[in-house]
C-alpha cells in the first residue's frame, strides 16, 4: 500500500516552500495532492499535517488576516528558516564533524548524530581528509534516552525516578543538565525533596525516568555551571592519614602523598583523602606493602574490611 500520508506531507512541504506568497488554506486543500474527502475531514487532515511538520522542526509561518486574504489566514515555509545555514564551514571542519558523528558508536545518541551529519554532508562541502582518531574516548553506553531528558530540561519539566543510593529511593528533580564525566553519565539538578543541587549517576537509576507535571515548572539559574557541583579532589580541607610504605614498593601510591621521614625498612608518608572507602581500596590494592599508622579509626576500618 502506498504511504499516502507521507506523500501528502512531502507535497505539502514542497508547496509551502515554493510559495512566493502566503497560501490560503482553501488554495492548499484544492491544489496540493492528497487532500480528499469532506471539507471537515480535509480541514482536520490539514491541521494534523501542520502539527506533524512542526514536530519535525519545520516552521510554518502564518500570515494573519489582511486585505488580500479577506478572512483567511495564509501559510508558507520560508527558505531561510527551513534550510541549514552555517556560515563558512571549511572542509576540515566537515571532517571534524564526521568524526564527531561517529563518536557515539551504538548509543541512544547515535541516530541524532547520524542524521545531523547526513544533513551536513548534503551541503556540498567535501571533507578535507579522512580523519582517523588515534585517541578513543570510551564511555558508558547510556541505556536511558538522554535526549528525552535533554528535552525535559529544555522545557523545564520535572523528572521522577527511582535511584539506587545506599538504599533505593524515589527522587523528584528539577533537571539542569545531563553530564558526561569521566566516562559516566550523570543527571544534575535541584533535588526537590532535599532542596539542594545533586548529581545522579544514570547507571544507578532503576527503570525509566519520567517527565511529570507542566512545562516551565522551574527556571535554571542563569549563572549555573555544572563544574561548580563536581566533587573536587583538591588535597586540602580533607582527612589526613599517616602511612608506612615498605622500601621500594607501592611506587605509584607515593606520588599522591608527602614523604615525612625514612627508616631502614619503610618510608613514612602523609596522605590526604576525601572518603574513607575509596582511599582504603587504594591502600588494600598494595597489600602488606602499606600499613596505616594513623588515625586509629582508619586502622579499625581497614581491619574490619580485611576480616579482622
In angstroms, the CA 19 to CA 23 distance is: 7
Number of other CB atoms surrounding residue 308 within 10 Å: 8
In angstroms, the CA 191 to CA 13 distance is: 43
Q: Confirm or reject binding of residue 218 to other proteins (CB under 8 A).
A: no
The cell for 63 is 500570515
Complex with other proteins: residue 5 or 65, whichever CB lies closer: 5
What is each CA distance from 265 to 176, 249, 261, 268, 290, in whole angstroms?
53, 11, 11, 10, 12
Complex with other proteins: residue 38 or 222, whichever CB lies closer: 222
**Binder among 154, 208, 294, 297 for other proteins (CB under 8 A):** 154
CB under 8 A: which stretch of 15-23, 66-74, 210-218, 259-267 binds other proteins? 15-23
In angstroms, the CA 37 to CA 41 distance is: 6
Q: Confirm or reject binding of residue 92 to other proteins (CB under 8 A).
A: yes
Cβ-based burial of 194 (10 A; exposed 0-12, middle 13-18, buried ≥19): exposed
CB under 8 A: which stretch of 37-45, 50-58, 210-218, 257-265 binds other proteins? 50-58
**Whether 294 contacts 279, CB under 8 Å:** no
**Which of the residues 173 through 202 are near other proteins (CB under 8 A)?**
177-184, 201
Least distance in angstroms from the C-beta of 144 to other proteins: 12
Q: Confirm or reject binding of residue 106 to other proteins (CB under 8 A).
A: no
Q: Confirm or reject binding of residue 235 to other proteins (CB under 8 A).
A: no
Q: Confirm or reject binding of residue 217 to other proteins (CB under 8 A).
A: no
Q: Confirm or reject binding of residue 84 to other proteins (CB under 8 A).
A: yes
Q: DSSP of 242-307, one letter per residue?
A: EEEEETT--HHHHTTSEEEEE-SSEEEEEEEES-HHHHHHHHHHTGGGEEEEE-HHHHHHHHHHTT
Least distance in angstroms from the C-beta of 215 to other proteins: 14
Interface size with other proteins, residues (CB under 8 A): 107
In angstroms, the CA 44 to CA 24 distance is: 15
Q: Confirm or reject binding of residue 205 to other proteins (CB under 8 A).
A: no
Q: Confirm or reject binding of residue 18 to other proteins (CB under 8 A).
A: yes
**Binder among 42, 45, 101, 241 for other proteins (CB under 8 A):** 101
**Whether 160 contacts 175, CB under 8 Å:** no
Beta bridge partners of 283: none
Complex with other proteins: residue 171 or 298, whichever CB lies closer: 298
**Which of the residues 121 through 140 are near other proteins (CB under 8 A)?**
121-124, 133-138, 140
Q: Confirm or reject binding of residue 42 to other proteins (CB under 8 A).
A: no
Give which of 175, 173, 209, 178 is closest to 192, Cα–Cα.
173
Distance of CA 35 to the CA centre of its chain: 40
**Which of the residues 237 through 296 are near other proteins (CB under 8 A)?**
249-252, 280-282, 284-289, 291
Q: Confirm or reject binding of residue 69 to other proteins (CB under 8 A).
A: no
**Binder among 3, 71, 106, 264 for other proteins (CB under 8 A):** 3
Q: Confirm or reject binding of residue 170 to other proteins (CB under 8 A).
A: no
The residue with cell 528525552 is: 148
Least distance in angstroms from the C-beta of 202 to other proteins: 11
Q: Confirm or reject binding of residue 109 to other proteins (CB under 8 A).
A: yes
Amino acid at each position: 500500500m502506498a504511504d499516502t500520508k507521507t506523500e501528502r506531507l512531502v507535497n505539502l512541504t514542497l508547496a509551502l516552500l515554493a510559495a512566493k506568497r502566503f497560501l490560503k488554506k482553501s488554495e492548499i486543500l484544492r491544489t496540493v495532492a492528497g487532500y480528499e474527502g469532506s471539507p471537515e475531514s480535509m480541514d482536520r487532515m490539514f491541521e494534523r499535517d501542520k502539527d506533524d511538520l512542526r514536530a519535525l522542526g519545520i516552521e510554518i509561518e502564518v500570515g494573519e488576516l489582511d486585505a488580500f486574504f479577506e478572512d483567511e489566514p495564509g501559510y508558507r515555509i520560508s527558505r531561510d528558516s527551513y534550510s541549514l545555514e552555517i556560515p563558512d564551514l571549511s572542509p576540515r571542519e566537515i571532517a571534524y564533524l564526521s568524526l564527531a558523528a561517529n563518536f557515539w558508536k551504538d548509543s541512544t545518541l547515535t541516530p541524532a548524530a547520524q542524521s545531523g551529519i547526513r544533513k551536513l554532508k548534503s551541503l556540498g562541502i567535501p571533507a578535507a581528509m579522512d580523519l582517523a582518531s588515534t585517541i578513543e574516548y570510551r564511555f558508558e553506553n547510556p541505556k536511558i534516552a538522554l535526549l528525552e531528558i535533554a528535552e525535559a530540561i529544555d522545557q523545564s519539566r520535572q523528572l521522577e525516578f527511582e535511584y539506587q543510593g545506599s538504599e533505593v529511593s524515589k527522587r523528584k528533580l528539577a533537571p539542569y543538565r545531563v553530564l558526561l564525566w569521566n566516562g559516566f553519565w550523570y543527571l544534575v539538578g535541584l533535588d526537590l525533596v532535599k532542596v539542594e543541587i545533586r548529581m545522579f549517576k544514570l547507571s544507578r537509576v532503576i527503570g525509566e525516568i519520567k517527565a511529570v507535571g507542566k512545562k516551565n515548572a522551574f527556571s535554571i539559574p542563569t549563572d549555573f555551571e555544572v563544574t561548580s557541583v563536581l566533587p573536587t579532589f583538591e588535597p586540602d580541607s580533607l582527612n589526613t592519614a599517616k602511612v608506612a610504605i615498605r622500601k621500594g614498593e607501592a611506587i605509584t601510591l607515593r606520588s599522591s602523598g608527602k614523604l615525612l621521614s625514612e627508616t631502614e625498612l619503610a618510608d613514612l608518608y602523609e596522605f590526604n583523602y576525601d572518603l574513607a572507602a575509596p582511599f582504603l581500596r587504594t591502600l588494600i590494592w598494595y597489600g602488606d606493602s602499606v600499613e596505616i599508622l594513623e588515625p586509629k579509626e582508619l586502622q579499625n576500618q581497614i581491619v574490619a574490611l580485611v576480616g579482622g
